């Protein structure tokens, strides 16, 4: 049970690793095993080569020392035979040994160079050279008359020297045999280690291959699951797109029906209002000489309220149709647009509207920007307490939007009233002689916010008001 839990936990952790890292890990497992095998094989091969070299050196040392002993013995025998017989043919082994010994000693020195036994070779070389000098001296005395006693003494010295050479050389050879045996054992161990390493590498490679295959299967299953999930999501997205398309079609049909309904309601509501206004004018004209001033005032007040009702209906229609009217994107020169808006509003001749010189040229929906400026400017003129008031229009460019400000020097707005100026049907002036419906600023707010911007108001009573709105680039 614990093993199953651990296995599931391992699978879970494996699934959390990014796919690119898991793919690299799968490839890294056999790669690391191969590199480790190559490194181990290289190290063992170097050890085997070194062991073979040492064995060859030891075997060559034994051969050369054996030749040295044979040559020095042959040289002594040849000299002794010549001393006894005086026959020159017995000197051939001596002459040959003198030449071969030099070559043999040179080989020994090369074999033992930079080794701890180099001093032993030098000692043997010195003894051999001394022996050859003795033999040469014996030959020289042999050719002299009455030199027998001296020759015998030298022969004894030569015999002792050869014995000394034999002892040292045999000791040297014994050490060389021991080293040779040790190195052969080392070579055997290296071969055994190589075999073990080879089979271990084979097992590890097999296990790494199986592990990589298992991890690859896990990754493949996960990718297949993800593909199935993507197919399922794609199918769901297709269904959602179909539902959305159907909903959009339904919404368009509803908007068309709503527009037709608005026109019908507008016509049906305005028609009786126009009839009432016309009837009021006809009655006032027919009874003009019979009506008192109070009656005329009441008729005039009635017509004002009818006009205000018509304006309210128009405002409601505009507010409901914001976002559904044609908003064609085009290049707009804001200064020229403002000039056209001001001309259509027709402010009093004494009223001043100042426009900043830095108005941009932007690509946007002209209809909505024109409607925002028209409402804000007409609102500033309509609610200004003086005919010679002033409105200043400025702009400040930000990274992703333009920030337009419409500031006036009118009466301002009280802090408590600022919270509801953008509410629909909210109007600060309750005078009966006003045509304000309380829809204009609500329309402005809806247009600006639907395009990702926001509008704010800064005002103090007696110091005018500043409407600041963001228009996304």
Q: Contact 31/37 with Cβ under 8 angstroms?
A: no
Q: How far apart are the first and last CA of the chain?
A: 63
pLDDT given for residue 363 in this prediction: 93
Residues pairing with 467 in the sheet: 406, 457
pLDDT given for residue 315 in this prediction: 56
Q: Domain 327-472 carries which CATH code? A: 3.30.565.10
pLDDT given for residue 457 in this prediction: 93
Domain segments of the chain as ranges: 13-224, 327-472
Tens digit of each residue's pLDDT, the chain (473 residues): 444 445 455 555 655 666 566 666 667 767 777 787 778 777 877 887 887 888 888 888 889 889 999 999 888 888 888 888 888 888 888 889 888 988 888 888 888 888 888 888 888 899 988 888 888 888 888 877 555 667 788 888 888 888 998 898 898 888 888 888 888 888 888 888 877 877 877 787 777 777 777 777 777 787 777 788 888 888 888 888 888 888 877 777 766 666 666 656 655 666 677 777 787 778 878 777 777 887 878 777 777 777 766 665 665 566 555 555 556 789 999 999 999 999 988 899 999 999 998 899 999 988 899 999 999 999 899 888 999 999 999 999 999 999 999 999 998 888 888 778 887 655 655 444 445 566 778 889 999 998 889 999 999 888 899 999 999 98
pLDDT given for residue 4 in this prediction: 44
pLDDT given for residue 5 in this prediction: 45
pTM here is 0.43
pLDDT given for residue 390 in this prediction: 95
Beta pairing, strands 352-355 & 390-397: parallel
d(CA 93, CA 185): 39
State the CATH architecture for 13-224.
Up-down Bundle (1.20)
Enumerate long-range contacts of 27-34, CB under 8 Å, 24 or more apart: 27/212, 29/208, 29/211, 29/212, 29/215, 30/205, 30/208, 30/209, 30/212, 32/208, 33/201, 33/204, 33/205, 33/208, 34/205
């Amino acid at each position: 049970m614990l093993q199953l839990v651990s296995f599931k936990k391992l699978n879970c952790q494996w699934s959390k690793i990014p796919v690119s890292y898991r793919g690299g890990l799968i490839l890294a497992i056999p790669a690391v095993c191969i590199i480790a095998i190559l490194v181990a094989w290289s190290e063992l091969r170097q050890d085997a080569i070194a062991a073979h070299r040492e064995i060859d050196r030891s075997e060559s040392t034994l051969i050369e020392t054996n030749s040295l002993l044979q040559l020095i013995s042959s040289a002594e025998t040849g000299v002794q035979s010549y001393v006894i017989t005086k026959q020159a043919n017995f000197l051939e082994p001596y002459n040959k040994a003198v030449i071969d010994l030099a070559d043999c000693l040179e080989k020994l020195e090369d074999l033992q160079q930079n080794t701890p036994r180099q001093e032993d070779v030098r000692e043997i070389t010195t003894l051999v050279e001394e022996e050859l000098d003795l033999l040469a001296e014996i030959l020289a005395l042999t050719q002299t008359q009455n030199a027998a006693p001296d020759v015998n003494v030298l022969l004894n010295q030569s015999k002792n020297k050869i014995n000394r050479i034999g002892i040292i050389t045999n000791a040297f050879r014994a050490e060389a045999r021991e080293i040779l045996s040790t190195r052969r054992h080392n070579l055997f161990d290296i071969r055994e280690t190589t075999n073990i390493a080879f089979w271990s590498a084979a097992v590890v490679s097999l296990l790494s291959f199986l592990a990589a295959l298992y991890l690859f299967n896990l990754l493949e299953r996960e990718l297949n699951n993800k593909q199935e999930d993507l197919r399922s999501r794609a199918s769901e997205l297709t269904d959602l797109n179909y539902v959305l398309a159907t909903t959009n079609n339904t919404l368009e049909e509803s908007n068309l029906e709503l527009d037709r309904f608005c026109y019908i309601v507008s016509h049906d509501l305005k028609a009786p209002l126009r009839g009432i206004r016309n009837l009021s004018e006809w009655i006032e004209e027919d009874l003009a000489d019979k009506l008192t001033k109070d009656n005329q005032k009441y008729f005039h007040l009635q017509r004002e309220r009818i006009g205000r009702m018509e304006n309210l209906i128009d405002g409601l229609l505009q507010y409901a149709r914001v976002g559904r009217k044609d908003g064609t994107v085009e290049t707009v020169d804001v200064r020229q647009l403002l000039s056209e808006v001001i001309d259509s509003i027709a402010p009093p001749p004494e009223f001043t509207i100042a426009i900043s010189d830095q108005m941009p040229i932007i690509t946007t929906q002209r209809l909505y920007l024109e409607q925002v400026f028209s409402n804000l400017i007409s609102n500033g003129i309509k609610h200004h307490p003086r005919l010679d008031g002033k409105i200043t229009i400025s702009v400040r460019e930000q990274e992703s939007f333009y920030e337009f400000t419409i500031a006036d020097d009118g009466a301002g707005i009280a802090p408590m009233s600022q919270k509801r100026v953008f509410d629909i049907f909210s109007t600060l002036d309750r005078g009966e002689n006003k045509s304000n419906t309380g829809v204009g600023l609500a329309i402005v707010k809806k247009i600006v916010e639907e395009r990702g911007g926001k509008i704010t108001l800064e005002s103090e009573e007696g110091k005018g008001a500043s409407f600041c709105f963001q228009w996304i680039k």
